Structure 1
Amino acid sequence: MKKRTIILAVTGLAVAFAAGGFAWRESSRAAPRANQTLNKPATSVASKTEAARTLFASAWPDVQGRSVAMQSYSGKPLVVNFWATWCAPCVEEMPALDTMAKAMPDAQFVGIGVDTNKNIVDFLAKIPVSYPLLVAGHSAISLVQQLGNPAGGLPFTVLVDAKGNVVETILGQVKLDDLSHKIQELTRN
């Protein structure tokens, strides 16, 4: 009887793993590839312009609870990084983005947390970040989708030129050399 139970259990586990693997493979095909520029030819100039307007019309509290209007970041190139404390790739890239923000004063950096204020404050106690962090919670997901990330994946980085135009969006961890080069191009124009 024990042998039969063991055989059934092993068979059940094998079927469960096979089904899980199949489901993962199929969902991976449908998801956008990470660390890729999401600017697609199908994205119209009008929709990018509207997304930029929506971004600059938004306001969220900072970690001290003061409301910060995104409009206050207009006029200079802007790097907007949507992130969360529960997102390992987000947390991993934060120190590098902080270093980049300090080294590139001609560009502004802002992190928009898809998280709670408490989680972000706890995160800052462990990993200090010098650029502003705003607390948007899950309300930021609809903006992320409007900006060209339909799945709402994180991290998600948006590059905005000095005129307020969204020039590039990146899903997944940024490639630091590539991002640095793109920011330098924005600050020269």
Structure 2
Amino acid sequence: MKTKLIVASAFVALIAAGAGVFAGHSALNAGGMEVAEAAQPAPQNAVAQLWAAPVTNADGKPQSLSLLKGHPVVVNFWASWCGPCVEEMPSLAQLHREYAKKGIEFVGLGVDSDKNVKAFLQKVPVDYPVYVIGFGGADLARAFGNNAGGLPFTVVIDAKGNVRSTKLGQIQPDELKHTLDTL
């Protein structure tokens, strides 16, 4: 009797997990959650939360995102265990090099542990600042409209602190360039 209950529970859990994976995959393949490039008033509180968010570098030393205030910035929420996050990093690094001369900052926020981020950065060097925000970073991403809680999630903020675009899923370099060219 107990075995049947365990097997039935496991079966229901597998079906629910499969439905969740399918729904997430469908949402990402439908283009993610691209937000119009006009300034978005709703996430202004999210921008304030971003500037105040407690982050550390990969060595665990506290850092301040408020130093980015007043600059256009691309914020990429990622994790070392997220395949699409890792795949898009070379594109983000290339765009960082291309747009640095225009004063556009890039920052990676690891929704991960400092140990995992440090190990990852030792294997895959990234030429823009990468900080650890921990698993609380998912709450901050939700404040920007990422209700699915998926990664990667990218936010573009202009120098005035207005959210210009958000993207759930891997960035498309040409789409991101278009947004950055309007800043």
- Displacement after TM superposition at 1:162 (Å): 0.4
8 Å contact kept, 2:164–2:179: no
User: Where does the alignment leave 5 or more consecutive residues of structure 1 unmatched?
Assistant: 1-15
Q: TM-score, normalised by structure 2?
A: 0.81
Which residue of the partner structure matches residue 43 of structure 2? 48
After TM superposition, give the deviation of residue 64 of structure 1 in Å: 2.8
CA distance in structure 2 between the aligned counterparts of 1:145 and 1:26, rounded to whole angstroms: 18
For these two proteins, the number of residue pairs brought into alignment is 167
The secondary structure found in structure 2 opposite 1:71 is helix
Quote how far apart the aligned CAs of 1:28 are. Answer: 3.3
Q: Segments of 4+ in structure 1 off by > 6 A? A: none
Change (3 A) 1:72 1:29: same
Alpha-carbon distance, 1:134 to partner: 0.6
RMSD: 2.6
Residue pairs, 1:46-125, within 5 angstroms: 47-105=42-100, 106-125=103-122
Does residue 1:28 correspond to 2:22, yes or no? yes
Q: 2:4 — aligned with what?
A: none
Identity of aligned residues (%): 40
The aligned counterpart of 2:33 is: 37
Show the 5 A alignment for 1:104-183. Answer: 104-105=99-100, 106-183=103-180
Q: Which runs of 5+ in 2 are unaligned?
A: 1-10
Q: Distance in 2 between matches of 1:26 and 1:54?
A: 29
Shift of 1:27: 5.8
